[in-house]
Structure 1
């Protein structure tokens, strides 16, 4: 194989790899704070109008994104939510 053939193959493989990834833009359109939860990805507090961009790697399966409301967390990420609670974790 020539070096240009190998380079073309690697470029194609890299492109194919990234075409299977996904980026979700999660936006809070509510007039109150929402804590978004994601597996994989963790969680993020979203004030009204804020957006969280979540990258999901290729090959990810059984991923979830859900909203949580009326949450209270401490500095270590432990707490609770009125809706969508995650066993007390951020």
Structure 2
């Protein structure tokens, strides 16, 4: 058997390319929804969950900068004192300021 005698099982009619072009055109035409319509389908539980999630996200976003400030002040308190009693007093001051 040589390669010239092998016939394809399915003939290529070119419709695959046309179909893929049609699919590309359909994919490019995605419908968008305005934001107010998106939230018009939300029930009160959805609104509550979005509110709780927003508060949680704000808390999650603000905590790293606050921790950097607190730990930075703690490191400064450790570095500026020479005796153990002074270190404890300085750290206590930083903790009392932070809370």
Q: Which of the pair is proportionally richer in helix? A: 2
Same fold (TM over 0.5): no
Q: Which of the pair is proportionally richer in strand? A: 1
TM-score range, shorter chain: 0.3 to 0.5
Greater gyration radius: 2
With a CA cutoff of 8 Å and minimum separation of 6, indicate the structure with the bigger relative contact order: 1
Q: TM-score, normalised by structure 1?
A: 0.35
Q: TM-score, normalised by structure 2?
A: 0.32
